[in-house]
Chains A and B, each alone.
Chain A
Amino acid sequence: MATHRKPVLARIDWLSLFLVLSLISIGIMAVYTSEYTSFSEPFFNTEKSHMKQIIWLGISCFLGLIILFTDSKVFYSLSNLSYVFGIFLLLITFVIGGEVKGSHSFIKFGSFTFQPGEMCKIFTALALSRFLSAPETRFNTLKDRLIAATIVLIPCFLIILQNETGLALVYFAFFLPMYREGLPNSILLVGLGSVALFLSSLLIERLPLFIAITVIALLSVWILWKQIKRQKLVILFIVGGWLIAVTFSQLVVPYIFKNVFKGYQVERIYSMLGQDVPLEFQKPGEAAKKDADYNVRQSKIAIGSGGVIGKGIMNGTQTKYSFVPEQHTDFVFCGIGEQFGFVGSALLVILYLSLLLRIVFLAERQRSLFSRVYCYCVASILFFHFAINLSMTMGLAPVIGITLPMLSYGGTSLLSFSILIFIMLRLDADRHILIR
């Protein structure tokens, strides 16, 4: 093993590191332009968000170097301990946690605030990898599957109690590595299917949705025709799925919205998507509030007004004059959409996709199962953040306060993603040895 003896910096995957650093740079630029007012202000002003982000980048790189020069086996052996530590941190947050914007998920050290839920993603990823790669684990048994699910759902549950639903939802991303390691197909299908069905029954009108569901059902009949010939039961599944989907979207959702939910609840759900409440669900006597969906509306206006090539750097009227709230954290993508238009935004999406596919590629070349599961965990978390954040800025998903990895302003977020990725790079550097 010649490669093994090379120094660690020669063995890491420079391509993915390059992709990550470019995304962080784009993020700093987006934060800078969203705060920029005039050239007279100095760039190197530590009061400004972009400068703080640069400092955080420095800290992250330093930590990254430490991680790279640590033995890869350390992560394996510390994984369970770190998980316990993470759970402990989450628990003590209930006691000493401060409140920021209605959520009790922060710990304060002086002026420095820290969100254990964010860090706990790394620990959960390590613990899940350790469990799945353990020699005694038989992941095809129900018992081990339940244990794996519990590992993921304990922090998730604790974070929900801390009123950070968005962050908690990220933990569902861990079902993707589990799927890769043998969770049945149907779980992924049902999971993705029900999310898609729920969103589309809010976003799409009933008749087109009915047609779409029917077309999908007919398509699956056509695709699975051979199997149906062999086993008649398959058609029952398809018909059953079609019936459930149709009942849910055509009858259950309208019924719940009309008769069960109160007016403000309906409004809340729609406003999270940046949509007006359809006339049929509006309750008489309950005046519709207009400002509830302000964020998404403004975000859509900012992105939409970018056009094909954008308004040019520093020329975004919507972001520059702060029409979009939280435009350097959750809605950082607005600035890119407005300034660089469709071309720039699509390039960013492609950049993300390249990083994700690269990580999957890294995962698949690992010799040890621990590293593979961990890589998948990283890819899944990134994917979940990326998909939900962009969807919510464009009004496709509810606004649940999920950052855009590497781009959004925020120290903890940047630090945790850096650690996540550097550990992955360190494990990948030792891809030819069996870590256990």
Chain B
Amino acid sequence: MINFNNNPRAWIVRLLFAAMAVALIFRLFNLQVWDDKYKVLADDQAIFRKVIYPARGSIVDRNGKAMLYNNVTFDLVVTPSRVTKDMDTAAFCSILGITEQDFEKELNKVLFKNGKQKPGVYKAQISKELNARLQENMYLFPGFELAERSMRSYPESSGALLLGYLSEVSPAMLENPRFASYRQGDYVGMSGLENVYEEELRGTRGVQYLVRDVMNRPRDAYKDGAMDTVASGGKELQLYIDAELQAYGEKLMSGKIGSAVAIDPQTGGILAMVSAPSFDPNLLTGEDKGRHFADLNKMATKPLFNYATQAFYPPGSTFKPITGLVGLDVGAITPSFGYPCAGGYYACGKRIGCTHSGHGHAANLKVALANSCNAYFCDVFRKIVDMPKFGGVHKGLETWYEYMNHFGFGHPLGVDITSEGGGLIPDSSFYNNMYRGGSWNSCNMAIVGMGQGEVTVSPMQLANSMCMIANKGFFYTPHLVKSIGGDAKHPKLKKYLEKHQTTNISATDYQAVIDGMEMVVTNGTGRVAQLPGIAVSAKTGTVENYALLFGKKTKLDNHSVFVCFAPKDNPRIAIAVVVQNAGYGATWAGPVASLMMEKYLTDSVKRKPLEEKMFHANLVKKYTYTIDSLQRIKDKLRWEMKMADKEGQIAMTKRGDTLLVNTMLEKFYHLKK
């Protein structure tokens, strides 16, 4: 039918139609097949990714008693780019009870912190009533979402530092590969167990994809939920901690600065880890978390500082059993070795005082320990390092250093808690630096044998060394967690199941020292630790310490230190207690250790007056505040200097850049004359 002799213009019209159709199909291809941008945009608009936060794992003590509970709270989360100009801010502000200026301010805060595209917490942990009112009207506020979170609460109000706290993940943490899967606004364990066992506690987050309409209301499951993932709850941690003992220890240590660490020698499980002053962990949850944190941070007594693992003290006389053990093992002394002390050690010229001067108070190792004779152990220490078989004091000190390492001193133990320090055990290079040219001898450090001088240890290390003595030669790395989700052989706990038998000191040597330490309690300096029917081994310590005050080395009150373990033959608990600037070891640290021991071994405390005395004693000295404020001034100055230095450096680089550019310009335009 088609007549090709037709008017060519009919064909031009046909061509025009066809060309347009081809152009449109080309454009369609470009939009629908070629360009992926629109699919992403559509999903962005219409698909709502709802993250289901699983309940965080709970933490229970050794008896299955909850150390903390999970409360469900809601965070109001905002994605600034989705907030539209025509949003009903008046309604929003009236629900939240804020002014419009506040609204802008808060929004800008989130904007500044996270940028436009990422969701950020607008208001954390809103109340139940507010949540209900917001839920109803959520569709009015595009860009805002309510995110479910579980919040911790602590029934015992104790163990704040060991449990740690939760907070929004910080930008710095997000750069850490460990937290790569976290998004801005997620909660993360910031310290303590919450941080160390974050991966186990957090569980797996679930994601639910919902389709939302133009009013921002979630409507149906996207693709019938085919892409959704189910949230699974975090695992429960069971601790070795005895919640009652922990709370009791914190109560005993109230009004004091220092620490009390109790370990089960047979497993290495930490029964209590008190850092004083302690604070209520409930302070670091809820809306006022930030303010409370700042308050705690400002306190001179530093409650956020873990005195159990981060503070280091010369161990004082509590070090003497270890000096004795090393002396016995290297053959420097025998248990029957005696020293004719008459109230001091004079072998090195200068007098090293001893509290006892009676004849025979250091007649043998046992008696010397019981009476805590300073001269005896200075002598033993010198005998060790000067032993001819080592060939010189340098080699002798190295041997001693090795022994100390085996006892767990001088390096972090590997406790499952954040920020554990190592302390200091001096070796020969240390003294080479101290005495230029290496001209030093055993006299320069004789007091190390009695736990004074350069050596420093943490209460945790001290308690661990007691475990080693109690076990007669081995220890397990102290740790808090017994099982993860019921699994005691969890990969993360493997290293705590390893028995550390680091020295070959004979059982008889240990027995001699243990007997000596028992005598400390029966008729020595540590009678306060006597418990009816239980053989206790202990050692007191009174540690001299100094501070640099206004450029002057000032002697402060002695630290009161006490170590003990019991029962002597089948040890179940080993304790180390340090009370800063409190006085004699037996006066303050001793009762704390003894009462905790009594509580743990007999479940009840009969010595009520002693208990009362400990509860109410306030041993924080005034100069603590002076030292703190001086330290803060110093820190501030140091920081300012650092900043000034940084600015100077920036200025220098800028100047350098300018010079470089100038030279380049000169070269380019041949401006050199």
Contacts and interface: CB of A to CB of B under 8 A. Distances in A.
Interface of A: 176, 179-180, 188, 192, 300-308, 317-318, 320-323, 337, 341-342, 345-346, 349-350, 352-353, 356-357, 360-361, 363-365, 376, 379, 383, 386-387, 390-391, 394, 396
A342 B13 contact: no
Contacts of A304: 31-32, 35, 37-39, 41-42
Contacts of B1: 361, 365
A172 to B, nearest CB: 14
Contact of A360 (B14, B20, B39, B212): B14
Given A303-B28, A303-B32, A305-B38, 20 more contacts: A300-B38, A304-B38, A305-B39, A307-B33, A317-B46, A317-B222, A318-B45, A322-B213, A337-B28, A349-B25, A350-B25, A360-B13, A361-B1, A364-B2, A364-B6, A379-B13, A379-B17, A383-B20, A387-B24, A394-B27
B9 interface: yes
Given A307-B39, A323-B45, A383 B17 contact: yes
A317 B42 contact: yes
A317 B3 CA distance: 48
A350 B24 CA distance: 10
A365 B6 CA distance: 10
B212 A321 contact: yes
Interface in B116-138: none
Contacts of B212: 321
B28 A322 contact: no
Contact of A321 (B2, B12, B214): B214
A321 B42 contact: no
Contacts of A318: 42, 45-46
Interface of B: 1-3, 6-7, 9-10, 12-14, 16-18, 20-21, 24-25, 27-29, 31-33, 35, 37-39, 41-43, 45-47, 211-214, 219, 222
B156 to A, nearest CB: 50
A361 B14 CA distance: 9
A304 B38 CA distance: 5
A357 B38 contact: no
Nearest to A182: B9
Contacts of B17: 353, 356-357, 360, 379, 383
Highest count of chain A CB atoms <10 Å: which of B6, B24, B37, B212 = B24
Contacts of B211: 317, 321
B32 A180 contact: no
B38 A342 contact: no
B32 A342 contact: yes
A424 B288 CA distance: 79
A379 B14 CA distance: 10
Given A321-B46, A323-B46, A341 B13 contact: no
B10 A360 contact: yes
Contacts of B25: 346, 349-350
Contact of A353 (B10, B21, B37): B21
A303 B21 contact: no
Contact of A180 (B10, B31, B213): B10
Highest count of chain B CB atoms <10 Å: which of A304, A337, A341, A353 = A304
Contact of B21 (A180, A306, A349): A349
Nearest to B85: A291
Contact of A357 (B12, B14, B35): B14
Contacts, number: 117
A342 B27 CA distance: 10
Contacts of B219: 321
A151 B637 CA distance: 91
A345 B21 CA distance: 11
B37 A361 contact: no
Contacts of A303: 28, 31-32, 38
A301 B42 CA distance: 6
A108 to B, nearest CB: 30
A394 B24 contact: yes
A285 B12 CA distance: 49
B32 A349 contact: no
Contacts of A346: 25, 28-29
B41 A301 contact: yes
Closest 6 CB pairs of A and B: A304-B38, A305-B42, A321-B213, A317-B46, A353-B21, A342-B32
A179 B14 CA distance: 13
B524 to A, nearest CB: 82
Contacts of A306: 32
A148 to B, nearest CB: 16
Nearest to A341: B32
A20 B533 CA distance: 106
A180 B33 contact: no
A349 B24 contact: yes
Contacts of B10: 180, 360, 363-364
Nearest to A179: B9
B19 to A, nearest CB: 10
Contacts of A390: 24
A370 B396 CA distance: 124
Nearest to B46: A317
A316 to B, nearest CB: 9
Contacts of B16: 192, 383
B21 A352 contact: yes
B633 to A, nearest CB: 49
A322 B214 contact: yes
Nearest to B2: A361
Contacts of A363: 10
B5 to A, nearest CB: 11
Given A383-B17, A383-B20, A345 B46 contact: no
Contacts of B43: 305
Contacts of A321: 46, 211-214, 219
Given A321-B213, A350-B21, A353-B21, A342 B33 contact: yes
29 contacts: A301-B38, A301-B41, A301-B45, A303-B38, A304-B32, A305-B39, A305-B42, A318-B42, A321-B213, A322-B214, A337-B28, A337-B31, A341-B32, A342-B29, A345-B28, A345-B32, A346-B28, A349-B24, A350-B25, A353-B17, A357-B14, A361-B1, A364-B2, A364-B6, A383-B17, A383-B20, A386-B20, A394-B28, A394-B31
A307 B45 contact: no
Contacts of A308: 32-33
A301 B47 CA distance: 14
A397 to B, nearest CB: 11
Contacts of B20: 383, 386-387
B31 A176 contact: no
A26 to B, nearest CB: 16
A387 B21 CA distance: 8
A365 B2 CA distance: 8
Nearest to B7: A180
Contacts of A394: 24, 27-28, 31
A383 B18 CA distance: 10
A376 B213 CA distance: 44
B32 A376 contact: no
Contacts of B32: 303-304, 306-308, 337, 341-342, 345
Contacts of A317: 42, 46-47, 211, 222
A305 B47 CA distance: 13
A346 B26 CA distance: 9
B195 to A, nearest CB: 41
A102 B301 CA distance: 74
A50 B28 CA distance: 26
A301 B212 CA distance: 15
A318 to B, nearest CB: 5
Highest count of chain B CB atoms <10 Å: which of A317, A345, A352 = A317
A349 B26 CA distance: 11
Contacts of B6: 364
Contacts of A337: 28, 31-32
A352 B24 CA distance: 12
Nearest to B27: A394
Contacts of A176: 13
Contacts of B35: 304
